[in-house]
Amino acid sequence: MKPAELTAEEQTAILAERYSQRAEAYDKFWSPVIRPAGERLVSQLPLGSASSIIDVGTGTGALLPAIARAALSATILGVDRSEGMLRLARKKVPRLAGAHGRPKLGAIRLSIRCGGCRLHLVSSTNARKMSQ
């Protein structure tokens, strides 16, 4: 089937599956290339008084540590269509909690408390459920 014959939703699902299958390679080779620019951007944003932040397209969570440092008391929601990318992000996020908190696994999200900061990782399909 040609891409023109697929719906936008079908194309998006195929792309998300490709990212899922290649998440480890993305994290190893591409994330280090784009992370420095993202971290510079995050450091310039006025996030200190933010109470909620949504990282849309969080991928493997490369920017979550920088966001958490910039917004110490915010609830941070990382959303991505690719379950494989979120799986890697979930593995990395517990390091942010350190001695301040323990990861709590739920059916649709991973919640972490780190000081006054809470991190939630969900798939984009389930983000609507969480917001209701």
- 83 or 126, which is more confident: 83
Is residue 32 within a helix (H) or strand (E), and if so which, with residue range?
A: helix 31-44
Q: Which amino acid is at 116?
A: G
Radius of gyration of the chain (CA): 15
Distance of alpha carbon 107 from alpha carbon 24, whole angstroms: 23
Q: Write out pLDDT tens, residues 49-79.
A: 888 788 878 888 898 888 888 888 887 878 8
Determine the distance from the C-alpha atom of residue 66 to the mean position of all C-alpha atoms in its chain, rounded to a whole number.
Answer: 12
In which residue are the tokens 């890697």 written? 88
> What predicted TM-score, i.e. pTM, was given to this entire model?
0.70
Homologous superfamily, domain 3-131: Vaccinia Virus protein VP39 (3.40.50.150)
